[in-house]
A and B are shown apart, each in its own frame.
Chain A
Amino acid sequence: MYRYDELDQSLVEQRSAEFRSQVERRLAGKISEAEFKPLRLMNGLYLQLHAYMLRVAIPYGVLSSKQMTKLADIADKYDRGYGHFTTRQNIQYNWPKLIETPDILDDLASVQMHAIQTSGNCIRNVTTDPFAGVAADEEVDPRPLCELLRQWSTLHPEFAYLPRKFKFAVTGSAVDRAAIKVHDIGLRVKSGPNDTVLTDIWVGGGQGRTPKIAQLFKANLPVEDLLPYLEAIMRVYNRYGRRDNKYKARIKILLAETGLEALQQQVEAEYQSIDQTAFSYIESEYARIAGNLIKPEYHTATEAPTRTNAEFEAWRRQNVKPHKQSGYAIAVVSLKPAGGIPGDATSIQMRAIADIAERYSSSELRVTHRQNLILPHVLESDLFSVWELLVKVDLAEANIDLPSDIIACPGLDYCALATARSIPIAQSVSKKIRATELTTDLKGVSVNISGCINACAHHHVANIGVLGLNKSGVENYQLTLGGRNDQNASIGQRIGPGVAADDVPEAIERIVNFYVDVREIHESLPDTFDRVGKEPFREAVYG
């Protein structure tokens, strides 16, 4: 992982001091809530249904044991002993007191963390492949670019008041685990000739009420030219992006209304006008960051794994992924116990996993887009010991990439924008589907549940999407099928009228059973859906 130097550290401490003075002015009544709002939103502090919510950045999802322990301490000291990991690879605290938020930020700064730009109409925390740097199929490690983007976008004065929030995702593999095609800008890093790094820029993906798949905007741009090019895109978006309607303010709408070619021309013209000398250090900065990544020391396994049992084998089959270093494995830790709250972890669990990472994973952890955690560098011969420790803190659910590995947003239990609950739905769905997936092969079937059209749980690009709405005061859940968030990203289709909260688990069960009945060998749910069409699925659910 990237290690801060003194300058990175000072900036985070200074930002924390600045926020402290803003909070003090608010508490002293010198500024109104209306004036405070844009200031707190620049720093991840939301006013939710019941309390403030603080969103803490976990840049590109990477964190150390020490940082995870600090997150646990914060959960105990300032919150109710738990935290919620999000699809943006961040963590949210649901119950902090305003007066204590500056102290939380100081505590975060002490371990090289912050809440900068986790909200507001600015460039948000950059996300990436949770297997970055360790995936067996990776072409280029995306982390140096992610860190470069973090630095570039941090407190960038030109892009702090955009028409709307702006999200970047980066991947370095042909198999896209970062969902780059449903972000405002998705970047695919590739290796070019003579050890160069090239990037493909995908623009205009997004979710919300107008879901869009990104379009290839620029191919094979050398990484050292990327920042001025992105600056050009951001300026053109800032200039022409709509400000009259917040639902039409994202770059996906600008792209749709302007047309790909015209927008490319505008960006090219802006790019030509940018003073390139201001970016002459990018190449060396990229190299400096890449050189500053703490790389684990890999050892050769001293002993062959001996201990095993059926439960462990089930966990290994489901939760352990291939590592690029032979003898090592990536262990995915599920935060989705059947009937539990997706993405929630208690301080006890956070400390436990921090300890496990320290002993068995070079003190490193990851947060995934699917709201799980990762131990990225585990010796295969240590897997059984790791599993035993996970079992002790209820973190050994063997359901990664199965339907019960549900993504759910906070919904009506916390979120001020929600139209329906999502957490209780996720709980009842996972309880029911878990029984089925234990006896039937449902690998790869994804279920995402959003509590409103803002689609924070990315339901549009789930194989099975659930959207909670409010129909004359009653919660109603729309079902979409066939979405994908990988390199073949596609938007799911509605299959019929919404169903009542209590009927969601049964409806999903029917979808899954029908899929199992008609699928061809190795056929994914979206592929089956594409092949047989909407009608038979509709029939299966409502018939």
Chain B
Amino acid sequence: MGDDAQIVYSDGRIETRNAQSTTGFQQVDGETDPGTLTPFTTQSIIVNFNSIADGRGFSLVKAIRQNTGYQGAIFASGDINPDHLSFAFQVGFDAVIVSAERWQKYGGDSWRAALNPAVRLSYSQTHSKSLQSIWQQRHRI
């Protein structure tokens, strides 16, 4: 594996990519003010979480699609650990890019286990296939 990053997709696929293969993806900081977003020209965007203590990146993904009309893939990267995977997919990230270092630190088992989360319900709407919205289910919309 060496320096290869692992890309964990919301549909459960895990893909090994060498670190260079994400060059050309447009990088956006998780802390970016959505009001300052300009239209994107690439087909892949990476939202980088500098620290998980700052959850703004979880709101940004919606804003990117809404404010700029962007329809390509959006990846999360940075300070994400297996316990945050479910939130990332819930808000609409297509995949999380896990650095070789992070992959190793938590162990492949933990990352794979996180694709099958214990919590499979959320109240509000969700983009994740492993989560079901309680409100949608109750009100059949």
**Whose C-beta in chain B lies nearest to the C-beta of A35?**
B81
Question: Interface code A257-297, partner B: CB below 8 Å = 1, 0 otherwise?
Answer: 00000000000000001010010110011001000000000
The count of residues in chain B whose C-beta lies closer than 8 Å to any C-beta of chain A is 38
Q: Taking A38-B53, A273-B67 as contacts, is the C-beta distance between A11 and B137 under 8 angstroms?
A: no
Point out the residues of chain B lying under 8 angstroms from A121, CB to CB: 53
Which residue of chain A has the shortest Cβ distance to B120 in the bound complex?
A: A14
Q: Choose the segment among B7-15, B20-28, B39-47, B121-129 that binds chain A (4+ C-beta atoms closer than 8 Å).
A: B121-129
Residue in B closest to A235 when the chains form the complex, CB atoms: B59
Cβ-defined contact, A14 with B59, below 8 A: no
> Which of B67, B83, B106 touches A22 (beta carbons < 8 Å)?
B83
Contact yes or no, B118 A14, CB < 8 A: yes
Count the A residues whose beta carbon is within 8 Å of the partner chain — how many? 41
Write out, one digit per residue, whether chain B residues 98-120 have a CB within 8 A of any chain A CB (1) or not (0).
00000000110010010001111
Q: Chain A residues with Cβ under 8 A from B1's Cβ?
A: none
Taken together as a complex, chains A and B put the C-alpha atoms of A285 and B125 apart, in Å, by 14
**A interface, over-half SS:** helix
Whether, in the assembled complex, B16 has its beta carbon less than 8 Å from a beta carbon of chain A, the answer is no
Max count, chain A CB within 10 A of own CB: residue among B55, B67, B106, B110:
B55
- The interface-forming segment of A92-100, A156-164, A369-377, A447-455 is A156-164
- Contact in complex: A238, B81 (CB < 8 Å): no
Best-surrounded residue of A38, A160, A161, A239 (most CB of chain B within 10 A) = A161
Q: Could you tell me the distance in whole angstroms from the C-beta of B84 to the nearest C-beta in chain A?
A: 9
Question: Could you tell me which residues of chain A, from 239 to 264, have a CB within 8 Å of some CB in chain B?
Answer: 239, 243
A/B pair count, beta carbons within 8 Å: 95
Residues on the A chain within 8 Å of B87, using CB: 157, 160
Task: Tell me the complex Cα distance, A400–B93, Å.
Answer: 52
CB-CB contacts below 8 Å: B51-90 with A = 52-56, 58-59, 63, 66-67, 81, 83, 87-88, 90
Complex formed: what's the CA distance from A158 to B122 in Å? 13
Interface: B33 (CB within 8 A): yes
Cβ of A8 within 8 Å of any chain B Cβ, yes or no, is: yes
A535 within 8 Å of B by Cβ?
A: no
Q: Which of A66-74, A147-155, A384-392 contacts B (4 or more CB under 8 A)?
A: A147-155
- In the complex, what distance in Å separates the CA atom of A152 from the CA atom of B54? 20
> Which residues of chain A come closer than 8 Å to B125, judged between CB atoms?
278
- The complex places the Cα of A58 from the Cα of B66 at a distance, in Å, of 37
Listed by A's residue number, 28 A-B pairs whose Cβ atoms lie within 8 Å are A11-B121, A11-B122, A14-B120, A14-B121, A15-B119, A30-B106, A152-B124, A154-B123, A155-B119, A156-B123, A156-B124, A157-B55, A157-B88, A157-B91, A157-B122, A158-B59, A161-B52, A238-B55, A238-B56, A239-B34, A239-B59, A243-B53, A273-B67, A275-B66, A281-B135, A281-B138, A281-B139, A285-B138
B residues near A, CB below 8 A?
Answer: 33-34, 52-56, 58-59, 63, 66-67, 81, 83, 87-88, 90-91, 106-107, 110, 113, 117-125, 134-139, 141
